[in-house]
Every structure is written in structure tokens, then in C-alpha cells.
Amino acid sequence: MAGITLAQAEAKLAEALDAESRIFETQEYQIAGRSNKRAMLQAVAGRVEYWDNKVKYLTARASGRGRSCTVSPSGR
């Protein structure tokens, strides 16, 4: 399995943001045929945060700014 691509993560983030907006507008939203009430806002906010972090991580990784480490001489 290749893992999640940046495009997939961006699509999931857009879906979560849309659901969050719908909750504020109509007090209700639907994802995958399930109807959810505003009480689920915390769960949706968690999805937004998760996918936002995933998009940021994959974007940084794609631009070569993924993991980095600083190496300095020991001064001996």
C-alpha cells in the first residue's frame, strides 16, 4: 500500500471543512450517507485538524522540507 497522497489528503481536508461549514449553517451535515447533528462538531473539528496536519506534512515532504536534522561539530 502506497499510503495517502497529498491530493487525497487535500480532498479529505476539503470534505471536513465543508462538513464543518454545513454544521454552522444548518446544524446538520451528511458524509457517506450518515446524517450528523451539531453535537458532532467536536468530531468534525478533529477531522479538520488531522487532515490539515497531514496536508502540511505531505506538502513539506514534497518540497524537501520533511525531516531535517542539524549537525554541528563537537568542538573537540
Give the start-to-end residue ranges of the domains of the chain.
6-62
Q: Is the per-residue pLDDT at 21 higher than 80?
A: yes
**What is the pLDDT, as a whole number, of residue 47?**
92
Cα separation, 29 vs 39, whole angstroms: 11
CA torsion sign for 54, 56, 60, 63 is: positive
Residue 13 has pLDDT above 80, yes or no: yes
Q: Return mean pLDDT, the chain.
A: 81
Q: What is the pLDDT of residues 49-76, one digit of tens each?
A: 999 999 999 999 888 875 555 666 665 5
Share of the chain above pLDDT 90, in %: 38
